[in-house]
Amino acid sequence: MEKQAVPAKGHKASQVLEDNVVLAMRGIDKTFPGTRALNNVDFTLREGEIHALMGENGAGKSTLIKVLTGVYPKDSGHIYVKGIQGEAHIHSPQEAQNIGISTVYQEINLCPNLTVAENMFIGRTKGARVQWSINEKKADKILRNLGIPAQANQELSRCSLAVQQMVAIARAVDMNCKVLILDEPTSSLDEKEVQMLFGLMRDLKSRGVGIIFVTHFLEQVYEVSDRITVLRNGELVGEYAVENLPQVELVARMMGKDLNDLADLEEIGQKKTAGETVVYEADKLSSTESKPFHFSIREGEVNGFTGLLGSGRSESVRAIFGADRVTGGSVKVKGKPVNITKPHDAMKAGIGYLPEDRKRDGIIADLSVRENIILALQVMKGFFHPMNQKETEKFADEYIKALKIKTASQDTPVGSLSGGNQQKVILARWLLTHPDYLILDEPTRGIDVGTKLEIQKLVLKLAAEENMSITFISSEIEEMLRTCSRLIVMRDRNIVGELTGDDLNQASVMKTIAGGGQ
């Protein structure tokens, strides 16, 4: 599908901003040490348009937004906003707000202990006196106007998350925003609340507000957006009108694939056929974050959970590991019923888990590389059996070499390593425990291409030589196609398909991820 024509760079602001364009970003570059986050990216937003901004991890979505809202300075490029003469130079979120660009984040940046009205007006008035009744009347008017079911004098924490979000939007609207950025607004909402939010969005649309809708929920994008901009690896893939882009095409663009490309995957190793013994089996397993699902994996099998980011892959495996609170279902490990309510139980049952968010859930930043590597194994050996210095040094040495971890020494605090090397440390940690069943959630994220391949080869080797069962989660389809013999596809928090054998090709995967529609 062709790209929609965008106004060319280098034109004067008045030419770039056609009549109905409220925001034009041209040639935006942003580099961080080690990564090129944005490379010559363009973005256009029109009046009264709901424009979805999409891309997988590392695509540059959040960087683009942060550049637009003044959190990061851009390296080069131009930003034009309707009503501003010449270029808009935005140095802080406050400045962005002042020129009409407002953002509503996923973690609602309001104060739950204040009332709805207060949240709408605080930080905006010049006077010292707080005018309760005036503010409440004004707030009520705005709330009625936008159809938001909240009372001005209600404490914000008493409102549901969806309503809180709408209050944040109301504040932005009251500040006469021309551009409203909604950053993953529907992640914590139920169906009814999503519809309520969409109603408000359509209302704003009719008032001429331009909305940038950052999300990964495919169906929602098609339900409510007018246009879609796709980013990938910091570059603009294209801007499309929603009616011109079938879902499958969108997925293909996001993943950088050409649907029709049936080129053979570079083979990196033989996929072993799985053994007969079922190593792990879950029946109607549910947690506080995931709906009941069935799952089983056999000895030596490598399976994958795929789908777009946020489709529910991580939540499912966290339920398996007991990382989230398990609310129902039964689990059998090697045929025997097992009660897994916390990670320690899973570890004892021979399960290992490399978490998706290494900073929050993985590394113990102030402790050394060595201590981080031996941590899980140490816990499994038990409180009263500390390993001696020589042993731990040997293990650490082994894995630093094997995974080529770049560190000044074993004793460097792991927090000072680069992201990719931190990832390798966590990987080493779990490999060291030699689990029967290893769950790897995005193990190659942030790792250089060469090592990515090494890890994939390693996965195959572990399955083949040690009969380890592995669940491999990745946003990159080829990684999974190379290693997995079975792929479970998820979309919008549901399991929508399972692919094996001949279906393990890019086209089928993407079709299954994308689902119906057009």
Partner 1 sequence: MLQKRNSRKADLSQLIIPLAALGILLLFNLIRGIVIGDLRFFSIGIGENIYGNTVLTGNLISIIDDASALAIIAMGMTLVTAACGGQDISVGAVGAISGAIFINVLAAFGLDKISVGTILVALLAATAVTIIFTLFNGTLVAVFKIQPMIATLILFSCGRSIAYMITGSATPQLNDPLINAIGKTIPGIPIPTPIFLVVIMGLLLTLIFKLTNLRLYTQTVGINQGAARLNGINPVIIKLLSFVILGICVSLAAMIQVCRLNQLAHKTLLDAIEMDAILAVAIGGNSLGGGKFRLSGTILGAYIILMLTNTLNDMNVSADSIKAYKAIVIIIIVIAGSPGIKNKISELWKKSRSRSSKAMAGR
Partner 2 sequence: MKMTVKTSEVHTRHRQPMTDTKLLMLIAIGTFIVMYAFAMIFIGKRFLTIKEIFNLLNNNAYLIILGCSLTIVMIGGSIDISVGGVVCLSAMSCAKLLQYLQAQGIEGPLGVILSLLLALGIGLLFGIEQGYLVSYLEIQPFIVTLAGMFLSRGVTTMVSSENVPIKHAGFQAFKSIALQVPNVFKLELGAAIALLVLIGMYLLLRHHKLGRSIYALGGNRQSALMLGINVKRSRFLSHVISSVLAGLAGYVFIMHASSGKTSIGLRSEMDAIAAAIIGGTLLTGGVGNVFGTFIGVMILSTIQEIMAASKVQESYWQEIASGALLGFFIMLQSVVLSGREKRRAKKNTMVAAEVKG
Binding residues for partner 2 (CB under 8 A): 93-94, 97, 107-115, 118-119, 122-125, 127-130, 132-133, 136-137, 140, 143-144, 147-149, 151-155, 157-158, 160-161, 188-191, 193, 195-196, 198-199, 202-203, 288-291, 315, 327, 492-494
Minimum distance from residue 355 beta carbon to partner 1 (Å): 6
Which of 129/401 has CB closer to partner 2? 129
Identify what 109 binds: partner 2, partner 1, none; CB under 5 to 8 Å per kind: partner 2
Minimum distance from residue 169 beta carbon to partner 2 (Å): 13
Minimum distance from residue 459 beta carbon to partner 1 (Å): 21
Count CA atoms closer than 13 A to 191's CA, side-chain side: 3
Which of 119/433 has CB closer to partner 1? 433
Which of 330/409 has CB closer to partner 1? 409
Strands 326-333 and 336-338: antiparallel
Spatial distance between the Cα atoms of 193 and 264, rounded to a whole number of angstroms: 44
Strands 227-232 and 235-241: antiparallel
Angle at CA of residue 47, ends 164 and 147, nearest 5°: 30
Minimum distance from residue 118 beta carbon to partner 2 (Å): 7
Minimum distance from residue 231 beta carbon to partner 2 (Å): 25
Which of 217/437 has CB closer to partner 2? 217
Minimum distance from residue 472 beta carbon to partner 1 (Å): 19
Identify what 390 binds: partner 1, partner 2, none; CB under 5 to 8 Å per kind: none
Give the strands of the sheet with 290-298, arranged side by side: 290-298, 278-287, 326-333, 336-338
Provide DSSP, 455-466: HHHHHHHHHHHH
Which of 328/386 has CB closer to partner 2? 328
Which of 97/423 has CB closer to partner 2? 97
Beta bridge partners of 241: 227
- The identity of residue 493, as a single letter, is R
How far CA 199 is from CA of 146, 147, 205, 212, in Å, comes to 9, 9, 10, 15
Which of 170/236 has CB closer to partner 2? 170
Identify what 413 binds: partner 2, partner 1, none; CB under 5 to 8 Å per kind: partner 1
- The rounded radius of gyration (Å) of the Cα atoms in the chain is 25
Angle at CA of residue 97, ends 93 and 99, nearest 5°: 120
Angle at CA of residue 25, ends 24 and 26, nearest 5°: 115
Identify what 290 binds: partner 2, partner 1, none; CB under 5 to 8 Å per kind: partner 2
Minimum distance from residue 193 beta carbon to partner 2 (Å): 8
Which of 98/244 has CB closer to partner 2? 98
Using CB atoms within 10 A of its CB, is residue 261 exposed (0-12), middle (13-18) or buried (19+)?
exposed
Binding site for partner 1 (CB under 8 A): 321, 323, 342-344, 347-348, 353, 355, 360-368, 371, 375-376, 378-380, 382-386, 393, 397, 400, 408-413, 429
Contact, 22 vs 178, CB < 8 A?
yes
Identify what 289 binds: partner 1, partner 2, none; CB under 5 to 8 Å per kind: partner 2
Residue with structure tokens 């209302």?
203
Contact, 28 vs 12, CB < 8 A?
no
Spatial distance between the Cα atoms of 332 and 283, rounded to a whole number of angstroms: 9
Identify what 294 binds: partner 2, partner 1, none; CB under 5 to 8 Å per kind: none
C-alpha 28 chain-centroid distance: 22
Identify what 363 binds: partner 1, partner 2, none; CB under 5 to 8 Å per kind: partner 1
Which of 325/461 has CB closer to partner 2? 325
Contact, 443 vs 455, CB < 8 A?
yes
Minimum distance from residue 68 beta carbon to partner 2 (Å): 15
Minimum distance from residue 496 beta carbon to partner 2 (Å): 10
Residue environment code for 42-55, b if the CB has 16+ CB neighbours within 10 A, otherwise e: bbbbbbbbbbbbbb
Identify what 379 binds: partner 2, partner 1, none; CB under 5 to 8 Å per kind: partner 1
Residue with structure tokens 């942003």?
30
Identify what 410 binds: partner 1, partner 2, none; CB under 5 to 8 Å per kind: partner 1
Which of 150/417 has CB closer to partner 2? 150
Identify what 119 binds: partner 1, partner 2, none; CB under 5 to 8 Å per kind: partner 2
Beta bridge partners of 87: none
Minimum distance from residue 347 beta carbon to partner 1 (Å): 5
Spatial distance between the Cα atoms of 24 and 17, rounded to a whole number of angstroms: 7
